[in-house]
Structure 1
Amino acid sequence: MWPRLKTISEQVIVITGASSGIGLTTSRMAAMRGARVVLAARNEAALRKIVEEIRDKGGQAAHVAADVGKEAEVRKIADAAIETFGGFDSWVNNAAVAIFGKIEEVPVAEQRQLFEANYWGVVHGSIVAVAHLRARGGALINIGSVLSDRALPLQGPYSAAKHAVKGFTDALRMELEMDGAPISVTLIKPASIDTPYPDHAKSYMASKPKLPPPVYAPDVVADAILHAAQHPVRDLYVGGAAKALASMGGWAPRLSDVVMEQTAGQAQQSDRPVDDRPHDNLYEPSTDGSERGSGNRFVRGGSLYTRASLNPLAAAAVAVGLGATAALLRARRSLSRR
């Protein structure tokens, strides 16, 4: 059964990891477009302030303090959405934590903790969401990463978890299609995004982590998420750099290895000391309430590649127009030579 998705203004949308970064940006954007939103994260104080802000602007929102690594707490998110708004139409698994450092330096216990949030959080959220959406239809949107396709040194555990999210999402999508379930399943794969991600990350590097360029605004990801909530789509890369890196990793994996080995260290370490950063959020919530990160001087406010991906007809029209223009120029040059 092909999923029939509602417009954003008709939807109730659940968003995990909603207290900062992509989750916060998406929550605000969805509410601004008329959706009723259920925000979930570990930081209840931050969530309460965000919900009050949304309501003050005329939006409808509720919040649930929950650790997505714990299945029982994820079920409370769904229960709250059903109790408050009568159900939900889209569920966004966005919550994640990060660790920077060489794999041998990161304690296995901390790698397991990362998987609790980044992988098992997606599993818990997906199972809970699908159980509700089977009867009414809707969208399940999992936030992966370009690192779901291409691993990055100094972010090994994070890359491994995002690879696992991709495998889980792809398998779940096929199983739901086999059952004829009216659920769209999308994997969003962003490039580097200007969020507090490196500020909140656990780090074993000598200097404060930073995101490898180019860095895109979180609004670009939020727009892709809300597109997937309305239009069934399998995968969406956010940022042309994400698509380029994934393609390079597929077509020239060994060359990609060499390039990353030579550039990844410098690209992910700033000139700021490690202690010039808030406490990490691996086990407990850190400073929340911010969409953007610190220290990113050059941030791209949009992506032509992603915009084209969200509107393939427009992209085709542009391609046809460019082709026609090129043909006209060639014709003029040919005539001028006669």
Structure 2
Amino acid sequence: MTTFPPTQVRARLGISPREVGRPYQIILITGASSGLGAALARVMARPGRFLALTARRVDRLHRVAQEARERGAETLEIPADLSISSGPRIILEKTLDAFGGLDVLVNNAGLGLPQLFHGTESQALRSQIEVNFTAPLMLTHRALPHLIARKGMVINISSAITSVPIPFLGAYGATKAGLSYWNDALRREVAHLGVRVCLVEPGPIQTEFHEALVERAGGERQLAETMDPPPFLTARVDDVAQRVASLLDRPRRRIAPLRRMTVPWDWLGALFRLVPPLGDAVAQAAIRRYAHNQEIASPTRGDTPLDNVSYQRLQAGLPTRPVRTSFHDGSAQSNPRD
């Protein structure tokens, strides 16, 4: 993909006319402060590339941008919150103002809350839907005219979890399944306009995401054991980032990096679809074990009595302390709208 920054941007960045023949790519990455988003920023950074990096945590975003600049890329830091409706508009406006166009949009930011659906607070559900599904659609919708003009690319980060419905991540998995469906529909819609749309469905990755999940669940050991995959099924984040970055040179409809990490999920999902009672039995056994360990039948936790509010939260599947939410990029916050 060969594109060129407009004349005024080249002048502002000190690019001489002799350098215009070099390939320039203007890339916007969401959720870029840590995890896969930060790894993508590092891997995609090189001389002649312009990276717009967005996340909520300013300090960590600045460190990632500095690393990208050290690798030769021009960077733009955009602190923004995708859980609010104005987030996509602000991000795109700042990117276009700084770089004059857009070649590649990477919808990477994600939010997962490991709670049983019946005990999840409504705001937690809304936040997952807004960050994981609504924001990528709205950001892409605003960016499409610019991507069409430059025959660009959209890369959507989904998840292999869509193969196996997991009760603790029901809302998260549903948003990722919706993202995958929309990705395929969009790919077919804009292919004749020269825009490539690629879906990435990684399995478990060695990032902060799992630790953040455990923290948001109240640090329960049983939940950690339920959600934590074995090491041999967990990919290194840099390896996954390299595979995603390869799409810039060789676009594909769908990749599942690393394949050896995602095949077990595919097989397990196929088995549960072939024998639905087996999948139901496995999930129900996990829920019963979790409920037992949470002592739902008793208004105490260990030797500590619980007040009525805490006991009601425990019965509903909620931790007895305020939930902290965090994005797929590893960021955490007490209130998603702060």
Q: Which secondary structure state, in structure 2, belongs to the residue aligned with residue 238 of structure 1?
A: coil
Asked if 1:228 corresponds to 2:247, the answer is yes
Asked if 1:286 corresponds to 2:332, the answer is yes
Cα deviation for residue 39 of structure 1 reads 0.4
Q: Which residue number corresponds to residue 315 of structure 1?
A: none
Q: Which residue number corresponds to residue 257 of structure 1?
A: 279
| Matched-pair contact (CA < 8 Å) for 2:167–2:283 | yes
Mapping for residues 234-253 of structure 1, pairs under 5 Å:
234-239=253-258, 240-250=260-270, 252-253=272-273
Q: Which residue number corresponds to residue 298 of structure 2?
A: none
Q: Which residue number corresponds to residue 97 of structure 2?
A: 83
Q: Which residue number corresponds to residue 39 of structure 2?
A: 25
Mapping for residues 117-128 of structure 1, pairs under 5 Å:
117-128=131-142
Cα deviation for residue 123 of structure 1 reads 1.0
Cα deviation for residue 166 of structure 1 reads 0.9
What is the alpha-carbon distance in structure 1 between the residues aligned to residue 28 and residue 282 of structure 2?
36
Identify if the C-alpha distance between structure 1 residues 264 and 22 changes in structure 2 by more than 3 Å, giving closer, same or farther.
farther
What is the alpha-carbon distance in structure 2 between the residues aligned to residue 126 and residue 117 of structure 1?
13
Asked if 1:211 corresponds to 2:223, the answer is no
Task: Kindly provide the CA deviation profile for residues 213-246 of structure 1, in whole angstroms up to 9, marking residues without a partner as x.
Answer: 3111111221122112222211111122313322
State the percentage of identical aligned residues.
26
| Matched-pair contact (CA < 8 Å) for 1:51–1:61 | yes
Deviates more, 1:247-256 or 1:32-41: 247-256
| Matched-pair contact (CA < 8 Å) for 1:17–1:95 | yes
Asked if 1:13 corresponds to 2:27, the answer is yes
Q: Which residue number corresponds to residue 334 of structure 1?
A: none
What is the alpha-carbon distance in structure 1 between the residues aligned to residue 206 and residue 48 of structure 2?
25
What is the alpha-carbon distance in structure 2 between the residues aligned to residue 41 and residue 74 of structure 1?
12
What is the alpha-carbon distance in structure 1 between the residues aligned to residue 281 and residue 73 of structure 2?
46
| Matched-pair contact (CA < 8 Å) for 1:114–1:158 | yes
Q: Which secondary structure state, in structure 2, belongs to the residue aligned with residue 124 of structure 1?
A: helix
Task: Kindly provide the CA deviation profile for residues 251-304 of structure 1, in whole angstroms up to 9, marking residues without a partner as x.
Answer: 6525472685389679x9xxxxx99xx94326x9428xxxxxxxxxxxxxxxxx
What is the alpha-carbon distance in structure 2 between the residues aligned to residue 285 and residue 26 of structure 1?
16
Identify if the C-alpha distance between structure 1 residues 263 and 218 changes in structure 2 by more than 3 Å, giving closer, same or farther.
farther
Deviates more, 1:156-165 or 1:198-207: 198-207
How well do the aligned residues superpose, as a CA RMSD in angstroms? 3.5
Task: Kindly provide the CA deviation profile for residues 40-73 of structure 1, in whole angstroms up to 9, marking residues without a partner as x.
Answer: 0111232123223332454321111112233432
- Specify which of 67, 73, 76 is matched with residue 59 of structure 1: 73
Task: Kindly provide the CA deviation profile for residues 3-56 of structure 1, in whole angstroms up to 9, marking residues without a partner as x.
Answer: x56799631211000001000010011114753211001112321232233324
Which amino acid is the alignment partner of residue 247 of structure 2? A
| Matched-pair contact (CA < 8 Å) for 2:45–2:69 | no
Q: Which residue number corresponds to residue 130 of structure 1?
A: 144
TM-score by length of structure 1 reads 0.72
Q: Which residue number corresponds to residue 322 of structure 1?
A: none
Which amino acid is the alignment partner of residue 126 of structure 1? T
What is the alpha-carbon distance in structure 1 between the residues aligned to residue 285 and residue 159 of structure 2?
19
Structure 1 gap segments, 5+ residues each: 269-273, 288-338
Q: Which secondary structure state, in structure 2, belongs to the residue aligned with residue 155 of structure 1?
A: helix
What is the alpha-carbon distance in structure 2 between the residues aligned to residue 107 and residue 248 of structure 1?
30
Q: Which secondary structure state, in structure 2, belongs to the residue aligned with residue 119 of structure 1?
A: helix
TM-score by length of structure 2 reads 0.72
Which amino acid is the alignment partner of residue 212 of structure 2? H
Q: Which residue number corresponds to residue 187 of structure 1?
A: 199
Identify if the C-alpha distance between structure 1 residues 17 and 94 changes in structure 2 by more than 3 Å, giving closer, same or farther.
same
| Matched-pair contact (CA < 8 Å) for 1:105–1:204 | no
What is the alpha-carbon distance in structure 2 between the residues aligned to residue 55 and residue 17 of structure 1?
18
- Specify which of 171, 175, 184 is matched with residue 189 of structure 2: 175
Q: Which residue number corresponds to residue 298 of structure 1?
A: none
Which amino acid is the alignment partner of residue 114 of structure 1? Q
